[in-house]
Structure 1
Amino acid sequence: MPPKTRLKDSEIAALRRWVAEGAAWPVATGTESSRGDAADGVDEVIAPNAPELAKSLKLWLRADTLQVADGGAVVAWPDSSGRGHDLTVTKGVRKAGTGTAPQLVKKSRINGGPAVRFTHDNGLAASPDRSLGLTGDAEFTVVLVGQYVHGTSRPYENILMVGNPAHSEDPGKPLSILIELETGKKQIDLAGGFSHDASMGPGSAQVLYDQPTILIITRKKGPWTPGTRFWLNGESSRQAWGRDPVGTSVVPDVQMRPEHGVALGSPQQWAGGFRGDLAEVIVFDRVLTDRQRRGLEAELAVRHGVEMPRMYLASTREFTDNEKNYWAFRLVKSPATPKVADADRVVSPIDPFVLARLKTAGLEPSPRADRSTLIRRVTFDLTGLPPTPEQIDAFLADGRNDVEALGSVVDGLLASPRYGERWARHWLDVVRYAESTANDGNAVMRYAWRYRDYVIKSLNTDKPYSEFVIEQLAGDLLPGKTGQARVDAVVATGLLMLGPKALAETDKEQSRLDIVADQLDVTGRAFLGLTIGCARCHDHKFDSIPTVDYYSLASIFRSTEVFQDENRNATMFQEWNLEVEGLKPVMVMAPVEYRPVTLRVHRRGDRKNPGVLAPRRFLQVIAGEGHQPLRTRQSGRLELARWIASPENPLTARVLVNRVWQNHFGIGLVATSDNFGNRGELPSHPALLDWLAADFVDNGWSIKSLHRRLVLSGTYMQASRGATEAAAAARRIDPDNRLLWTMPLERLDAEALRDAVLAVSGRLDLTPGGSETGEFLYERGEVIDKKRPTFRPNRVRSDDPFYTDSRRRSVFLPVVRNAMPDILSLFDAADPNGIVTRRNDTTVPSQSLFLLNHPFVLENSQALAKRVLSAPASDDPARIALAYRLAVGRGPRPAEVKRVVEFLAAGVAGENKGTPEEKRLTAWTGFAQTLFCRNEFLYLK
């Protein structure tokens, strides 16, 4: 019956291939057919020694089983088939033997996996009395996983040999099974001796030199060439080379030589060896069925990271025009700036976009905030600390207009080390920064602090965001990095190590895949604003992210190793000594390259229920349907990072400018800052978002320039409207302030609140960075295995005195999963167990009780009292004014001074015990605590 709808392009392509191969109908018995591969690409995985193949398996050589040091001589290559067909060097062992030992290469040309590397003089052979049984008119399937090096010094290069290709005279028929390369013609042959060959013709070997390959040659009984089939990376000869093999049609009579059995390379002088790597050699004594061959290819493709063309077709997904033209997937283009009538209100290119939307809604912007409000707002926003009285006075006295005067303030704040400390905390929320692993052992990650300091340094030096992205995903792979830049780039990849880890999981592969899921989740939400992790078990329910794309990306991350060992109960994550020329070795927490891995889709998330192969590539809805998979011997992280950081990526710049906007205005232009997908909110000002994204890229991905653009806008400089009639009317039209008719009233976040208390009291320690937190947690951690002293479960509790006693900025406090201190968690600090792109904002009685009773607040209230009392002020009203200016950034009103004077007098005159000086300090301490409890201290206008 004809299809009810138009066939997909992939289905049409499959039909064309089928027709080109002769349009043979599939054979019902499952035996080999002339049509080649099926197009679905969903192969069951069949190991060489699977029950249905075991009886036919005659030889199985695996490089990954060799117990030889890297670079060591492979004197013997044991047979894993169980048949005992071990191969050994022939020189000095076999009659007339000249073959020397090849070497084991742990990171070979075959996608970085282990392989045996042969040169022309190397040769291995089995004993002549251990025949594979391939004689006479033999059927067979030979499988070679390798990559070869083209040479010209020898006309013929022997890879694998069974039988006798060097008879004394032409026997008139094939006597051997010899897989050879003719170097002059660059062709591959199944040679029988004396040109009784089945050949793929000139140029056919070129592909074997270019890439790792899975070469399968099968032969059924009867005439030599007509019964021979070549398969390259899952494709038949017609698909791979566009032709069938050519050669003799006589029936062979394979005969064994007396000197040796099956051989690789050059076992004797007359046999030309080859140059190249072999990872696996498999021989069966029959022709495998199509299903068995495909299953074996799938097994080998996954194990060796070899890409098969049919998996591109099976993994290709097609999208509708609506899906491809979704607003967030369109290329960023800078729109024209709207023309507005209120030109006097425009101080930045941002303002026309906002004013135009307000005009359409019938709303008016708020008046400009006064200078005292502006400097407090921008200082907290950029540094997380209150402005000093001296900074306030200088700004208020600046005779220039507000924009120019504020611009000078902003430049100073962005140049301060405090800026990086503040904005690093925002980024650390997103990337789930912590110093312990959570889950079972909650082990201490002793060197996680290096990543935190890297982020602070990067922000303070205004590292281009594109470079910031690349370093965190693939800094260890960047070429040309030397000295401290190399250290920083490797430390940056700590991003991939920060997530929770189930170290005691006994299924280590499952644990790795769970870590990959975490890495994909943070990559998607932090950099792309997409919930890629939702496609792990099924196609994304709302966005154009098929499951195969999830596993294509997962293949990239699975090609990186995060564990040091396979310990059953406490696998140690990667911590290693980074050695860089000219510098002392540095211990880092960072992943290491493994080898390229091609995962299969895990149906319903179950890795024991595999689906199609997922080649390493990017999101097809953005990068292109069926775009070329990665052809790199590295993991692919560097290619992924560069794709994400490209100006052509439609998401990266949009997501970043939206997140920075969110942290200045309380909510992003896209309210769901980690979800730009269909379940996220649409942008309130789409043209403004695109203008900012384009401007950001045009300014060299400079985050500091972006800050300056935002905070020097008339939109940012608006006042926060209170309970006025105008505000009430505006709220009826735009209750969530999505159109930005006012600046929101925002409570200080947990870190800013704590730091402000310390700064106002004069006790804040501004020592930057360092290893204090890592060493503190490590020393307090419990050694549960003396043989593994570096694995230490955390033993620091949330009420540890360290959190109260420390005077350092909050960003430098220990971050322990499942043990966050009350001083931070009570005021909605980010939970490091997950990605937090926007914090909750709760108001609960326990917050007020904390400010009234916690020792931290009481101690700092007394410190503020002492600071004010020791200041060179003339009288109590002057001291009161200083306290107000320190705490809330303004002088007190006369009525406030009057009330405070009365409060202090009552405190001194009261019946409390103590000397007059003690009573005075107690009274001033009480007054200082009221300042910390004021909404004006806790909230930013």
Structure 2
Amino acid sequence: MNLHLFILGAAVFMSSARAAMGTDTAFFEGKIRPVLVKHCYECHSAESGKTKGGLSLDSKQGLLTGGDSGPAVVPGEPTKSLLLAAMRHEDPDLAMPPKGPALATAVTIDFETWIREGAVDPRISSAPIQERPPVDVAAGKKFWSYQKPQKHPNPEVQNKGWARRDLDHHILAKLEREGLSPSPDAAPGVLLRRLYLDLTGLPPTPEESQTFVKAWTALETREGLLASTVDGLLKSPRFAERWARHWLDVARFAESNGRESNLVFPHAWRYRDYVVDAIQSDKPYDRFIVEQIAGDLLPAKNESERAEHLIATGFLAMGAKGLNEMNKAQFAADLADEQLDTVTRAIIASSIACARCHDHKSEPFSMEDYYALAGIFQSTQTHYGTWIDSENNNGSSLIRLPKLPAQLIPNKPLNPSKVRQLRADRNKLDAEQTAQEAYIKKAQKEGRDISHEGFRLLSNAIRILWTRGGIDGQLMTVDDEGNALPLCMGVEDAAHIQEAQLLNRGEIAQPVKAVPRGFPAVFDLSVSAPGPVQSGRLELAKWLTHPEHPLTARVIANRVWRHLFGVGLVRTADNFGYSGERPSHPELLDTLAQQMIQQDWSLKALVREIVLSRSYRQASDYRKDGFEKDPDNRLLWRAHKRRLDAEVIRDSMLAISGELDVSRRPGSLVTEFTGQSVSLMGFNTALPADLDGSLRRSIYLPVVRDHLPDVLELFDFAEPTLVTGNRDVTNVPLQALYLLNGPWVQQRAAALAKRALRGKNNPEAYLKRAFELCFNRAPDQAEKELANAFFQAARGISASEHKSDEYRLFTLFCQSLLASAEFRYVD
């Protein structure tokens, strides 16, 4: 049972009068202040001149600030309020009063109710809120990332014939200033494998590699061959699937809530598919952003476009939420904070959310800036589709999509009679709840003590709440006739448009003033402020995608560069502020940002520009002169060797084994789960033991927070709760154990062995085929000798065990290829 819900029920039903009055000033004056005066002021007040333990209880501010042990009262959180624990003598070191027994149960229930309902306290603080020094916005405007990108001519270089694109001039000029030169071009087979893995996340086939190398060798001018190859990859659906995953990292995409209430999001897959389709169609990046933030507020030319816009807003609904939070105001504030933080980190790489409790410590963002944005999200209703139960105190509906031809609706229909029965049951529960509330109010009016009925009333309240939640969960997915509805996660404007209250120290119970919705002062952009009718999300989206916004184009250009070179021009991809790293090539970053805007914010055009450069095609070989002057390769004197992402490792295994299913998975495995609690699924086996059983691409695997498929978990998949521009890259024993002992890897090795053996009648031929499939090259002489030595030794062991089996031995050899560093790294 949810402890918070138990406390709520106990407070509501075991003390009816207290529950009814817990939010009133009269309740504080009648039940709370007298206890504080009688039992606490002697040691904790200005009048007594004593504040033992640094604690003052004669003011609202003193209660909330607390003493040496922390806040005495946390509004809405009785279990986190030390004052209540002290009154109950739960900790001998904190017991209040320190002498004598604990206070009466009725008194502590009063305090519990008061705290849970927000700790209303009309007392004037004896420690008034101090004036804050103004944030230095003028200095902030001089910082590089808060100034709009400038036009920079190509710098002069000594080696006139090396550059192929504008960006090459910037790379070469900086190398020459440091007395370095670029590395030679990578071998054509190496370059092709790099291109395929970077753009599609899949290796080229041996036939594709051989054709490219042959053509490259025969040509004197190879730019046309390279361009046509790149254009073909950009048009491929495989490019969209690979690059959609990059954005899903940033969007913290997941199909469950995570945290302490890990409930599933069975309709999150629609947002995943939206991102894939947007990348495939090369939707302009500025439009891509506008749709995700304010798609519900955009005009649509037809129902299909309307559905697309609604699904896009799932970006704001994906975050992890404190679903067991009791205080509704706190839950709303935390939800808006998570959305604000995601939008600003993902799109402009700024930590504005750090100004929730105080002016930003390092950036030019004030609390006013934060609450100006928070008001936009607090004026937004979020639909994520979980219902009230033992793990969830904050249910939500879903958005109903327009019905379209051939539309996938994976949720199950209900029999019309079942729908009618559910509605009748819900009405009956509502009637029970109304009757119980009337009974309590009547007892209160008559002055009767019904605390002895507390257990019965509490049990009944919990039964009504949870049963009704389950009914709501079933009914939200069907229409009046029981037909399954097309649904999605997303947002829409709230019924009440509001300005956020600036909160002292970010505390819900300490509002200071209302802050008009708007945008941070450090940015000078002529964009209309949010009006009184809508939330302001559309204005926010237009502000973010304004052509003169100093950050948006820079941030996405840097993200693209990071995925193609392994490290960004700004290494802190999600932080372009004072505490982030400075760009290695600021003029180049400006140039790429401006090119993207001029090319209609085309992601594909930017990718094409970079991969056709001479800088991209450099070899990755070690050079002593470069390493001594620039060991981190920030000047880009060679290509970075990079370990493949988890998805690319897995998808490449499927591709070379010949098993890859390139079709899109209809919906998601999560849609097929029974119930909504991931935690409870572990007990009733509704959660499959293997979330990696599919042969489709990894982007279609379920992303259940805290329950990722093994290969994703082990090889540094993005944490799906956070905006992730840079994944970690680790090298740990569990990875090796997975590659050696994992059944999934062993199955791929067996399929690879079968494929390599097919049509080959001698060891040299199938050995060569296995190398070509795995590495896009033939084995060298040393590798042939090592392979033959392995087979001879293995045959000897097998013969002694009477288990000689050439296919089994070759399967083991193929597994060693899949586990090799060369397979897991792109050169």
8 Å Cα contact 1:334-1:695 kept in structure 2: no
357 and 843 in structure 1: CA distance in 2 versus 1, 3 angstrom threshold = same
Secondary structure in 2 matching 1:331? coil
1:527 aligned residue: 347
1:380 aligned residue: 197
8 Å Cα contact 1:877-1:901 kept in structure 2: no
Match of 2:507 among 592, 596, 606: 606
2:365 aligned residue: 545
C-alpha separation between the residues in 1 aligned to 2:490 and 2:800? Answer: 58
2:756 aligned residue: 868
1:283 aligned residue: none
Q: Which amino acid aligns with 2:704?
A: V
8 Å Cα contact 1:593-1:634 kept in structure 2: yes
Q: Which amino acid aligns with 1:621?
A: V
Alignment of 1:679 with 2:499, yes or no, is no
2:806 aligned residue: 920
TM (norm. structure 1) is 0.63
C-alpha separation between the residues in 2 aligned to 1:392 and 1:524? Answer: 42
2:36 aligned residue: none
1:1-400 matched pairs, under 5 angstroms: 319-398=136-215, 399-400=218-219
Match of 1:929 among 800, 815, 819: 815
Q: Which amino acid aligns with 2:315?
A: L
Match of 1:766 among 638, 662, 667: 662
Cα displacement (A) at 1:783: 10
C-alpha separation between the residues in 2 aligned to 1:438 and 1:597? Answer: 29
C-alpha deviations, 1:205-224, integer Å up to 9, x for none?
xxxxxxxxxxxxxxxxxxxx
Alignment of 1:811 with 2:699, yes or no, is yes
8 Å Cα contact 1:379-1:385 kept in structure 2: yes
Match of 2:651 among 751, 755, 759: 755
C-alpha deviations, 1:336-369, integer Å up to 9, x for none?
1112111111111111100111111111111110
More RCO (CA 8 Å, sep 6+):
2
8 Å Cα contact 1:435-1:449 kept in structure 2: yes
Secondary structure in 2 matching 1:591? strand
Alignment of 1:895 with 2:782, yes or no, is yes
C-alpha separation between the residues in 2 aligned to 1:873 and 1:344? Answer: 46
1:679-758 matched pairs, under 5 angstroms: 679-722=579-622, 727-758=623-654
C-alpha separation between the residues in 1 aligned to 2:404 and 2:819? Answer: 54
Number of corresponding residues: 620
2:225 aligned residue: 405
Q: Which amino acid aligns with 1:608?
A: A
Alignment of 1:485 with 2:305, yes or no, is yes
485 and 339 in structure 1: CA distance in 2 versus 1, 3 angstrom threshold = same
8 Å Cα contact 1:828-1:842 kept in structure 2: yes
C-alpha separation between the residues in 1 aligned to 2:232 and 2:701? Answer: 26
Cα displacement (A) at 1:844: 1.4
534 and 431 in structure 1: CA distance in 2 versus 1, 3 angstrom threshold = same
1:167 aligned residue: none
C-alpha separation between the residues in 2 aligned to 1:783 and 1:741? Answer: 48
C-alpha deviations, 1:380-409, integer Å up to 9, x for none?
001111111121012112244333222111
8 Å Cα contact 1:754-1:823 kept in structure 2: yes
8 Å Cα contact 2:753-2:814 kept in structure 1: yes
Q: Which has the larger radius of gyration?
A: 1
Please identify which structure carries the higher helix content. Answer: 2
TM (norm. structure 2) is 0.71
C-alpha separation between the residues in 2 aligned to 1:859 and 1:754? Answer: 12
C-alpha separation between the residues in 2 aligned to 1:525 and 1:730? Answer: 34
1:882 aligned residue: 769
1:830-869 matched pairs, under 5 angstroms: 830-869=718-757
8 Å Cα contact 1:757-1:932 kept in structure 2: yes
Identity of aligned residues (%): 40
414 and 581 in structure 1: CA distance in 2 versus 1, 3 angstrom threshold = closer
753 and 483 in structure 1: CA distance in 2 versus 1, 3 angstrom threshold = same
Please identify which structure carries the higher strand content. Answer: 1
Alignment of 1:577 with 2:400, yes or no, is yes
C-alpha separation between the residues in 2 aligned to 1:483 and 1:821? Answer: 36
Question: What runs of 5+ residues in structure 2 fail to find an aligned partner?
Answer: 1-22, 30-130, 408-484
8 Å Cα contact 1:562-1:592 kept in structure 2: yes
8 Å Cα contact 2:771-2:778 kept in structure 1: yes
C-alpha separation between the residues in 1 aligned to 2:678 and 2:826? Answer: 46
C-alpha RMSD of matched pairs (Å): 2.8
C-alpha deviations, 1:630-652, integer Å up to 9, x for none?
22411110110011011121110
C-alpha separation between the residues in 2 aligned to 1:417 and 1:350? Answer: 27
C-alpha separation between the residues in 2 aligned to 1:573 and 1:491? Answer: 16
Question: What runs of 5+ residues in structure 1 fail to find an aligned partner?
Answer: 1-47, 55-313, 785-791
8 Å Cα contact 1:443-1:794 kept in structure 2: no
C-alpha separation between the residues in 2 aligned to 1:881 and 1:441? Answer: 52
Q: Which amino acid aligns with 2:643?
A: R
Cα displacement (A) at 1:773: 2.3
1:907 aligned residue: 794
C-alpha separation between the residues in 2 aligned to 1:822 and 1:583? Answer: 34
8 Å Cα contact 1:436-1:794 kept in structure 2: no
Cα displacement (A) at 1:793: 7.0
Q: Which amino acid aligns with 1:350?
A: L
Secondary structure in 2 matching 1:343? coil
8 Å Cα contact 2:263-2:678 kept in structure 1: no
Comparing 489-498 with 386-395, which one deviates more in the overlay? 386-395
C-alpha separation between the residues in 2 aligned to 1:714 and 1:677? Answer: 30
C-alpha deviations, 1:517-559, integer Å up to 9, x for none?
1111110111011011111111111111111111110100111
2:464 aligned residue: none
